[in-house]
Amino acid sequence: MARPSIVPIALTLDDRTGYTLWAPPWEEDGEEWQAFLGTTVEVRADINDDDPEAPVPTAVVHLFPSPAALAAFCRANTDHDLADHPVWPVVAGLGAADLTPDDDHRFDLDGVYDIAAEDPDRWAVEELAATIDIVSRLAECLDADADDEDEDDLDDETEFEAVAELVGKPEIGSLGLGPDAFIGRSGEDAWAGVGGVLDDLWEDVVEELGDHLDWTGAGTVAVADYPSASESAPIVVDESDDEDDDDIEPVDVGTPAAATAGVRTIDGGGGRLTHDPAEVAAAAEFWEAVGILPVEVVVPDGAGVTLRCYVDDVARFLGRDGEVFLFDTPAQLSRFCAGSEPHDLSEIASWPEVATTGTRPLPADQDRYDLAALAEVLGEVADGAAGLVTHAALAQPVEGARDLAEYGRLPRVEELLAPSAPLGQAVARGEREPDATLHQADAAAVRPAWDEVVALISGKLVFRD
Q: Is 343 helix (H, G, I), strand (E, B) or coil?
A: coil
Instruction: Concatenate the DSSP letters of all residues of 249-310 into one string.
Output: PPP-----GGGGSSEE---TT--S----HHHHHHHHHHHHHHT-EEEEEEETTEEEEEEEEE
Q: What is the DSSP letter of 178?
A: -
Nearest by Cα to 363 from 428, 268, 260: 268
- pLDDT tens, position by position, 226-245: 877 765 544 443 333 333 33
Helix 440-458, helix 395-408: angle, nearest 10: 30
- pLDDT tens, position by position, 156-211: 577 899 999 999 999 999 998 888 889 888 889 999 999 999 999 999 999 999 98
**What pLDDT shows up at residue 264?**
29
Better-scored residue on pLDDT, 46 or 431: 431
**What pLDDT shows up at residue 322?**
92
Q: What is the DSSP letter of 235?
A: P
- pLDDT tens, position by position, 248-292: 222 222 222 222 223 322 233 334 566 677 888 888 899 999 999
Residue 301: pLDDT band by 50, 70, 90 thresholds? Answer: confident
The lowest-confidence range among 21-25, 146-150, 213-217, 240-244 is 240-244
Q: CA gyration radius for the chain?
A: 25
Helix 440-458, helix 422-432: angle, nearest 10: 110
Instruction: Concatenate the DSSP letters of all residues of 425-465 into one string.
Output: HHHHHHHH-TTSEE-HHHHHHHHHHHHHHHHHHHTTEEEE-
pLDDT over 70 (residue 48): no
- pLDDT tens, position by position, 324-334: 999 999 999 99
Better-scored residue on pLDDT, 117 or 46: 117
